[in-house]
Amino acid sequence: MAGLGFVSVAALAACAQGGSEGGASTPAAAAEPFDKLLEVDGNFAYNALDDGVEYHFSNVLSPAYYVFGGALDADGAAELVGQLGLAQSIETYVGSVVVVNPADGKAYTAADADKFVELAAAAGPANNVKVIGVDEGADFVLGDLAPKLYFAAGVFTYGGTEADAAGVPFVPAYLCNAPQAAVDAIIAANGAAEVGEGVYENADDPLKRVVVASDADLPTAAANAWDQVFSKNYRQHNEITEFYMAGVADFTDPYPLYSIPDFTQFDYVENYNAAVDGLEGEYTWFEYVPTRLADAAEGSVPCIVTLHGNLNDTRVQAESSGWLELACTEDLIVLAPEWQDVVYESGSDEPQPNFFGCDGLQNDRIVTWLDTMFAKYPQIDTHRVYVTGLSAGSSASELYGVKYADTFAAVGGVSGPGIDKEPTSAATTTSSA
């Protein structure tokens, strides 16, 4: 997608957000086999990004499905993914799927649980891993794999006979026709209590959610699993180091859960390689304006500018920091610019292009760009414009807060490495009344 475009997220709502609470819907229609899988090391895989699908949302929200359905050939894997109905969410969020066969080609064992961690680690930091087990795959997910679900954003199982989910950490789950011992263990691990028929939630953290069902068929169960569990949250490590530095084999305590923003509440504008009045070059940024603020009074709405970490997708800081959720409840406009002109790999002095390969809204440019945003959105209160960032974006936000104090009312940095100490100090002045 080039240039400037408005995304009607309402058109994506059926995929982007959850549906009904509890109970079973009418049986889903039979799905076509998913014919895009490629054989990779004995498994069958597909990655939408590799297939040229373009992001509308940050890659933090991209679901990474791992499907365990027993020993399957190419046709069996395609049939299973089709029955699970994963194509829509994979395309919407630029996700991936791996149908994982038993390593010995016959049946899953404890060794396959370790191989799952290796497979997930090779894919990079965990953000939105979804684990699915069907029949004998359900027994494996609820059995040997259960203790390894510390980084899984959600689990969906269909069937199973004997597994008891021993050692399972808290994990959101949709359990269809699951063994009662496994159901009890997962509810207990989530500290959940029944809040509706077959629906259990943790009173302090509703994302720790378990739905127990007996749906009519696999497509129906899969659709309900998306609506009631998978669409609600992602999961990443952010406690000891930034999520993009955390390998799943190295950080093994249960990861926190984070809600997926409700994009249907926003007018969301994507700007790629766009012109900015008063600047040369081409720039990329994203605008998140709660729909209900379209007619807000002039100068009445605070504005949050989010600066991403080094090398990150520009949208990450806006979409995974909680600001969009706050925007809906506190009436805020959130703006996310590609602020880095160039980036540097760790340990390298060689400049590289930023995530989008565009010019960066860095230093004075960010002020010029903001002037165009103030003109576009007169409802922004220019006396309540705030800048925040993660890691390198944190250091930059501190610098800009000092350097452009007439623009930014306050700064909130997170995990800043202090790489801008010298220019920040140079820009700092003191005065006395």
Which domains, ranges and CATH numbers included, belong to the chain? 18-259 (3.40.50.1820), 263-427 (3.40.50.1820)
Query: Angle at Cα 25 formed by Cα 19 and Cα 26, nearest 5°?
Result: 135
Whether pLDDT at 16 is above 60: no
- Name the least confident of 85-94, 236-245, 402-411: 236-245
pLDDT single digits (tens) 86-123: 999 999 899 999 999 999 999 999 999 999 999 999 99
Q: Model pTM greater than 0.75?
A: yes
Phi-psi region of 159 (alpha: psi -120 to 50; beta: other; left: phi over 0): left
CB 264 within 8 Å of CB 9: yes
Top-confidence residue, 55 or 110: 110
Q: What is the pLDDT of residues 168-222, one digit of tens each?
A: 999 999 999 999 999 999 999 999 999 999 999 999 999 999 999 999 899 999 9
The pLDDT assigned to 337 comes to 97
Q: How confident is the model over 319-358, as pLDDT tens digits?
A: 988 899 999 999 999 999 999 988 777 677 788 898 899 9
